Structure 1
Amino acid sequence: MNLPNKLTVFRMILIVPFVLLLLGGFHEWAWFTAIFGGIMEYVDYIALAIFIIASLTDMLDGKIARKYNLITNFGKFMDPLADKLLVCSAMICLVEMGRIPAWIVIIIISREFIISGFRLVASDKGVVIAANYWGKFKTTFQMIMVCLMIANIEKISLLTNIVMWVALALTVISLIDYIWVNRGVMADTK
């Protein structure tokens, strides 16, 4: 397994401690407070740091893969999947914490299922569909939105809301673009 693919797998592994820290700090589970009791006020920031590190691996794995010609079908499939798992896990946690409306997360996750369906159909036809720029912009804004919502800083709540709406708009735009550009994949060739 090459370095970019290892970074993708590492990003997926980081989801577990990220979710445990974020929800453990929010719910103050007994076992969690027994372990982290002295630093409970900082667990959101530790979770945020893990999320940022995981997000940076997304940027890094692609750059390394392109620079050193290490692009693989594994990476083309797993990199976007790792992004989806990271961002969707974070947003589901944020819904539970009351920091983002559930309907926005439903739209975002629905988009991810639709795109995954397209990728499965394409794969069945021997076609690997890589992420495009709209999808990358969408993911970037979603990651920024998650960071702002985890930080939960009252003074920048307007900025957080603006980023949330931009992320939602990019989610819808990227879905429409993805369907349009790849519409031939869904054509029945029998």
Structure 2
Amino acid sequence: MPAGPPHVVSGPEPGAPVSTWNIANALTVARLVIVPVFIVFLFVEGQGWRLAALAVFLVASITDQLDGWLARRYGLITDFGKIADPIADKALIGSALVCLSLLGELAWWVTAVIIARELGVTLLRFAVIRHGVIPASYGGKVKTVLQILAIALYIWPGVPEFARWTSLGLALLVTVVTGLDYVFRAVRLRQVAKRSRA
């Protein structure tokens, strides 16, 4: 008997509405739920708990990459995801930075610079949302990966300080540069929206 056509997995038909409740958004919400677990593990003394905190942090970070890939691969991109995904990222990164600073392992000025940038970009997105949604840029994704790497090296016991500071310095540089890029993109978005209304 001849074989049937190969099974192809695809997303919704072009133009079809995408449900907010999809696997990509579910992973984003799960990342938010994992954050308190990570915080508890990080504050419990003992190398085993420290490694557990690292494992939870890395699992949460992987969901960041996975939900974005699923959304693009299967056409599950929604306005909720565009907003919730970066918020979940900021909750994870921000909590890690604050906890490390509270533990005396990371300078507060570093935490302040990164969190100020993240909050500023989030507020900027909400300020211009009536004109349109600013999706995460490629530079923003690189910034997130570099921040994850730097934080992981700080959580991991026994990593040389040189390796920690090198990764953190690069993450800080990209964080500031991409923050300025979001400002320029928001300004352009407002200008385009005003010209469209005119």
Aligned mate of 1:10, from 26, 30, 33: 30
Counterpart amino acid of 2:149? Answer: I
Give the deviation of 1:126 after TM superposition.
Answer: 4.1
Aligned mate of 2:148, from 143, 151, 155: 143
CA 1:186 to 1:94, structure 2 compared with 1: closer, same or farther past 3 Å?
Answer: farther
Aligned mate of 1:48, from 50, 54, 72: 54
SS of structure 2 residue aligned to 1:182 = helix
Q: Please say if 1:87 is aligned against 2:93.
A: yes
1:176 is aligned to: 180
Paired residues, what number?
Answer: 174
Contact in 2 for aligned 1:118/1:186 (Cα 8 Å): no
2:105 is aligned to: 99
Written as runs of structure 1 = structure 2, the 5 A alignment for 1:60-79 is 60-79=66-85
**Greater than 3 Å deviation, 4+ residue runs:** 185-190
Give the deviation of 1:153 after TM superposition.
Answer: 1.7
Q: TM-score, normalised by structure 2?
A: 0.83
Take 2:48 and 2:174, find their aligned partners in 1: how far apart are those partners?
A: 32
Take 1:20 and 1:173, find their aligned partners in 2: how far apart are those partners?
A: 32
Written as runs of structure 1 = structure 2, the 5 A alignment for 1:93-172 is 93-123=99-129, 125-154=130-159, 156-172=160-176
Per-residue deviation, residues 136-179 of structure 1 (Å, max 9, x unmatched)? 1111110111100000324x321111000001001101011111
Structure 1: segments with no counterpart, 5+ residues: 26-39
Take 1:99 and 1:64, find their aligned partners in 2: how far apart are those partners?
A: 35
Q: TM-score, normalised by structure 1?
A: 0.87
Give the deviation of 1:113 after TM superposition.
Answer: 1.5
Take 1:98 and 1:179, find their aligned partners in 2: how far apart are those partners?
A: 32
Sequence identity percentage: 36
Contact in 1 for aligned 2:149/2:167 (Cα 8 Å): yes
Per-residue deviation, residues 77-115 of structure 1 (Å, max 9, x unmatched)? 000000000000000001011121100110111101211
1:30 is aligned to: none
Counterpart amino acid of 1:56? Answer: I
The farther-off stretch of 110-119 and 77-86 is 110-119
Counterpart amino acid of 1:78? Answer: A
Per-residue deviation, residues 8-29 of structure 1 (Å, max 9, x unmatched)? 001111101100110133xxxx
Q: What do you get for the CA RMSD once the two structures are aligned? A: 1.6
